[in-house]
Structure 1
Amino acid sequence: MTIQTSRLTDPTVRAFVTAVNAHDREGFMSILAPGATMADDGSDRDLADWIDREIFSSNGHMEVDNESNNGRDLLASYRNDTYGEMRTHWHFEVEEDGRISRFETGQA
């Protein structure tokens, strides 16, 4: 059963998923802290290159199936035009100012 994006617990994570699904690059970038980092399948990646390739140029879309850790860990179906659909996990580190300093994703 998919969780509606508007019902996600953590407001920053909710904004992240909303921006991904709306293909809102400006909104997405505004919720990342300066110097934010990310990893995919356990390896650190270049953030700008990854988000362009995996989200914005390939029509990335998330459907959240489960959340834990106060909404900062997600299990989601993620799809894009490059890889199709896959089951993924996401972990977010959110700073006190409400911006994401790091996120990690990978196949679940």
Structure 2
Amino acid sequence: MTIPVDRLSNAAVRAFVTALNANDEDAFRLALTPAATMSDDGSDRDLAQWTEKEIFSSRGHMEVESEKDEGLTLVARYRNDTWGEMRTKWQFTVEDGKVARFDTGQA
């Protein structure tokens, strides 16, 4: 069972996932703080390079299976044209209504 994106508890996370799934780079950037950071499988990555490769040029998409920590932690089936589908965990830090950091990796 999946959670519809419009039902995600945290508004900033909801905006992030909505933009990601729509492949909308402008909306995605608006969902982030100007100095947002991220990590993948425990290693910090360059946010612009990673999102271009793993989301936008490869048509990334999340189907959220569960959320906890008031919507700041998600488990999702994530797929893109490069890697196919995998079960992933996403943890978000939100500041002033925007995502300041996200950490993702295999669940």
> TM-score, normalised to structure 1's length?
0.98
Q: Which amino acid aligns with 1:66?
A: S
Q: Counterparts in 2 of 1:96-107, with a 5 A limit?
A: 97-107=96-106
Q: Hey, what does 1:23 align to over in structure 2?
A: 23
Q: Hey, what does 2:54 align to over in structure 1?
A: 54
C-alpha distance in structure 2 between counterparts of 1:34 and 1:20, whole Å? 17
Q: How many residues align?
A: 107
Runs (4+) of structure 1 moved beyond 4 Å? none
Q: Hey, what does 1:14 align to over in structure 2?
A: 14
5+ long unaligned stretches in structure 1: none
C-alpha distance in structure 2 between counterparts of 1:99 and 1:9, whole Å? 14
Root mean square deviation of aligned Cα: 0.4
Offset at 1:35?
1.2
Q: Hey, what does 2:32 align to over in structure 1?
A: 32
> TM-score, normalised to structure 2's length?
0.99
Q: Hey, what does 1:93 align to over in structure 2?
A: 93
Q: Hey, what does 1:80 align to over in structure 2?
A: 80
C-alpha distance in structure 1 between counterparts of 2:8 and 2:105, whole Å? 20
5+ long unaligned stretches in structure 2: none
Q: Secondary structure at the match of 1:12?
A: helix
Identity %: 63
